[in-house]
Amino acid sequence: MSTVKLSEGTVTVDLCGGTPLFYRQGEPGAGEPRLSVLLLHGIRFSSENWLNIGTLETLAKAGCRTVAVDLPGLGQSKAASAPVAVGELAPGAFLQQVCEALKLGPVVVVSPSLSGMYSLPFLFQHAPLLKAYVPIAPICTDKFIAQQYASVQTPTLIVYGDQDTQLGELSLSNLKHLPNHRVVVMKGAGHPCYLEDPETWHKALLDFLQML
């Protein structure tokens, strides 16, 4: 079985006023990483959830350098500017700065729920920096029009739980305008579907990453 290296750290970005953001990282034990993956999170969650359900370890074993960041004002990044303050400033530029500071290169962004306020502007403003996009019932999909979605060629895996009849279905109705997408509906799962069924989530994600 391949070994992985798990670590923790902080990264400083200008848009958070120089206050460090906390992150967790999983890396393959040997060899160059095949992909870089950035894991975001919802409002009641943090990078710790990705550690607890094994996503950091699973992706590292699959050859990916995987970083799970605590968003501003949440998790262990509580001292950083609140998400709304950063959001008003430039949420797309915020994720660009995070990726640059962590040297993530073209990155796969996994974005559940609240983190859509950052990942969607990043997708539209900085598409060349995205290797792929994995939205999980994100917020803010209704802030963009069908033509904007249609102009983005980034490979996308849309994930949601079939019990998430609000954000899941709303986000799908907008995200399906992305031309290069596939959809995974997790049966019997609610809004945080990846937490409720990590095994199905990991299989869907690994299958998608294998195609990149």
* Active-site annotation, residues: 113, 164, 191
What is the dihedral sign for C-alpha 72, 4, 199, 212? positive
Euclidean distance between CA atoms 61 and 171, whole angstroms: 30
Euclidean distance between CA atoms 117 and 105, whole angstroms: 21
Helix (H) or strand (E) holding 147: helix 146-150
Helix (H) or strand (E) holding 170: helix 167-175
3-state secondary structure 101-134: HCCCCCEEEEEEHHHHHHHHHHHHHCHHHEEEEE
Tokens standing for residue 77:
């990044």
Beta bridge partners of 199: none
Task: Tell me whether strands 107-112 and 130-136 are parallel, antiparallel or unpaired.
Answer: parallel
Give the CB-side neighbour count of residue 44, counting CA atoms within 13 A.
Answer: 3
Cβ atoms 117, 91 nearer than 8 A: yes
